[in-house]
Structure 1
């Protein structure tokens, strides 16, 4: 093996199954890069976990008259089945609430930054009728940075951490009535003290423009504090913090570490935890742009205060996918569920189209009619050609590619987008569709060598179709 990579997917809230918005973001992209790295001979772990300590979970489970963690276990199983339907080849999808590794890792990072954590009295909104606080899932106001509708945790639009002191009002999401302002004692992390070092870490790292511009602004205030406990809300209770619930956004890096520890305990043939969680392993995080603060700032600051483990990794962000012009929403049920699509279309078709139109740097819109047209006019002929090409590869043996090497430009473009520094699954998909158009349109270049090149390019995006070429070749 050349080296080790841990690839992470931002943990989904287990308040409903995975939809196409999840897949178009970190889920498919992380799977595609993991498959590509394995193709190149690297040792790779792809990990994520169910975000059981997120306050959107009790907001969902309460009206269903279910206990939050009980409901989370059911949804996690649903998500695992959905990932299998989409050929998301994840190594570990941890149930956070059932994991001692998760608790221990969270306590570890609290200890690492303990000298920067203080107890302060802070403002919060509260609904007496529903007995809930407006830290995140139960309350909604407007972001003081960009003015859009937001909870008080992380703004989905600008990714900034709203200043609750600058939010004049908030609405309870359970009863839709105004919340009242109150105060609580909570632990805050003087995270801004780490901002100069965090900025230095990111200085020469490849990243998408939206993250680069965000960090230039978000790292400017070295006096910034991050409230890390939420009394009366969801979170993990630790003795170090006087049993105040540690909120889920602080615990993401702990969750990824717990995934690795848990997985390797069950799969010792892959090596020990120390063999993986060290400074020789590279981390690659896939995340929605709205998670930029926690991942690219908070977790980097945690790592800078921890002499153990991998160094800060690379952060690959995505924007949002809309459905018919409106945001995908699990809580509102406005979504195209992956399980429903997988009941009617091959996984490779869903993967390739989702990759091709992924909202990597800009918001994109999914329209079912557009997908149906693409499926009938492009994917179905391609799949039939692959079936036929498999037998041609077997029959023809080693035949040189066409003398004009018409596929080379597509292949080089694919190689660029398949690299870590320039990774783009949309670019990879576009290049794959380009070589597919060439092969479908020109029978003269449908040589075994070109179909094997096509299979190499398709392996991470359309693993089932690529396997047809490789399996016949192996015979």
Structure 2
């Protein structure tokens, strides 16, 4: 049993639509599987996410759809929560638009402000003369000055670097691209990140080996040069109003909410699991002994791992720093990036409606974009899951069904083999080497081996014993299959602490799977 609590965080998607498979195949399924494994090994774990309502993309999407931002947030939040549940993502703390969250954000930034960590500095923004608006994030797009990729301001999805609105190449209003923009300066409150560059460098040197290569490269690039000022407030009418007199009419930058939001959602999760907290940020106090692990898309590297960690550093020893970041790349549909605006996507709810969710979870795990972009296709799903999961599992279930109700011996050799099976899965689930793809590969390899086994009466107990070991180990992915087998007493335990160690095993029929793709 591993001591201590782990808080698992997957950044909240913008509340401007439902979740598509790109969201699910990346951080959400990985965070869920990791959390389930941590609990299986005896560790207290909470999983937090939510729906971010303060992003400017809520406003731009609402205008495009002809609705109000408030109605869009309410509808999107409900859809996001329903889709997570439909795919078996067991969220403990789900944040939404509520006063308690707003208070924690304001308390966090007021603490930085009171400590003199925020400075009023001029920042350049594109200015729209026709409306008198300074444009930020979803309201303006242009080229990234570092990698030249086209995108909206805020963060570059390609290189992961911060993308200041005033530094865009050929900035254009997303609402009226033909309007000529001006570049004007406006004083905003910033966190001078350069003051924390050496601390950040030391922090990442301690944890750098745990970063996946793309994130490690981006962090090295960012820390190799002076860091930009990070706007904590900026102009806008949508978001959490900044309470500071120096910046009247400004709001908190949504990308500066990261740490306060993380504390809030993990605190909610602990409460849901029965814990009474003295404060919403208690899990992040050093004395709480919480290990914080993030599962996030590569493009969230800067706001969470660089600017977010720097904000924690600015508050001294009040908070523990995150222990690990697990990133993913983009998931594609028919070899093109998922796009809500172009309608090029598959919604998570559609996947849940069309096939058993264990089949969907397995396929998303097997094709997870951990180190490079991967692709989704319905024909590919049917072929992959049919050949690697459904067909071998069903043949295995039929083999074990022949011995239903019999008490069979389990040999020492089979127990040793089960130990090796457990170790192989644990290597894929463990924090340092966590990989959904390797867990899915291990499952397919073991099912293939057990399927090829010509089971004699003398070997039936060993075969059934190893089948149950594989299913226990695959339980973080195959949640329904494992639960059904457990309910029918076909499994001894769901814990990954080790296989059955008894010398006899009562075999009962195991449930079947179906691909279920139309």
Alignment TM-score > 0.5, same fold: yes
Question: Structure 1 residues 117, 339: closer, same or farther in 2, change over 3 A?
Answer: same
The higher radius of gyration belongs to: 2
Confirm or deny that 1:207 pairs with 2:216: no
* Contact 2:141 2:168 survives alignment (8 Å): no
Give the SS at the match of 2:108: helix
Other-structure match for 1:33: 34
Go from structure 1 to structure 2 and tell me whether the alpha carbon gap of 1:338 and 1:396 turns closer, same or farther (over 3 Å shift). farther
Map of 2:53 onto structure 1:
52
What's 1:308 paired with?
Answer: 318
Q: Which residue of 2 aligns with 1:467?
A: 483
What is the CA–CA distance in structure 2 between the aligned matches of 1:48 and 1:398, rounded to whole Å?
A: 46
- Partner secondary structure for residue 340 of structure 1: helix
Counterparts of 1:151 and 1:366, CA distance in 2: 25
Q: Counterpart in 2 of 1:327? A: 337
Q: Is the 8 A contact 1:322 1:363 kept in 2?
A: yes
Does residue 229 in structure 1 map to residue 233 in structure 2?
A: yes
CA contact (8 A) 2:135 2:173 kept: yes
Tell me which residue corresponds to 1:296. Answer: 305
| Deviation larger for 252-261 or 147-156 | 252-261
Query: Shift of residue 181 of structure 1?
Result: 1.9
Aligned counterpart for 1:368 among listed residues 378, 396, 416: 378
Give the Cα separation in 2 of the matches to 1:398 and 1:17.
Answer: 50
How much has 1:313 moved relative to structure 2? 2.4
The C-alpha deviation readout for 1:343-394, integer Å capped at 9, x for no partner, is: 1111111111111111111111222221122233333324524654775576
- Gap regions ≥5 residues in structure 1: none
Structure 2 Cα separation of the partners of residues 238 and 415 of structure 1: 46
Identify unmatched segments of 5+ residues in structure 2. 493-518
2-structure distance, mates of 1:448, 1:387: 9
Instruction: Give the match's secondary structure for 1:334.
Output: coil
**Counterpart in the other structure of 2:501:** none
Q: Kindly indicate whether residue 364 of structure 2 is the aligned counterpart of residue 354 of structure 1.
A: yes
Determine the structure 1 residue equivalent to 2:267. Answer: 261
1:57/1:72 contact within 8 Å kept? yes
Hey, what does 1:272 align to over in structure 2? 277
Q: How far apart are the structure 2 equivalents of 1:230 and 1:390? A: 63
Alignment of 1:345 with 2:361, yes or no, is no
Does the Cα contact within 8 Å between 1:119 and 1:188 map onto a contact in 2?
A: yes
Cα distance in 1 for residues equivalent to 2:135 and 2:409? 66
Cα drift, residue 302 of structure 1: 1.7
Match of 2:195 in 1: 193
Which secondary structure state, in structure 2, belongs to the residue aligned with residue 270 of structure 1?
coil
1:279-290 mapped onto 2 (5 Å cutoff) = 279=286, 280-290=289-299
- Deviation for aligned residue 1:433: 1.1
For residues 153 and 190 of structure 1, the distance between their equivalents in structure 2, rounded to whole angstroms, comes to 17
Query: Over aligned residues, Cα RMSD in angstroms?
Result: 2.5
Bigger Cα displacement from structure 2, 421-430 vs 161-170: 161-170
The alpha carbon displacement at 1:404 in A equals: 11
Distance 2:195 2:471 in 1: 49
TM-score (norm. length: structure 2): 0.85
The answer to whether the 8 A contact 1:7-1:45 is kept is: yes
1:163 deviation in Å?
4.5
Aligned mates of 2:94, 2:165 — CA distance in 1: 33
Partner of 1:177: 178
The answer for the alignment partner of 1:216 in structure 2 is: 220
**SS at structure 2 position matched to 1:351:** helix
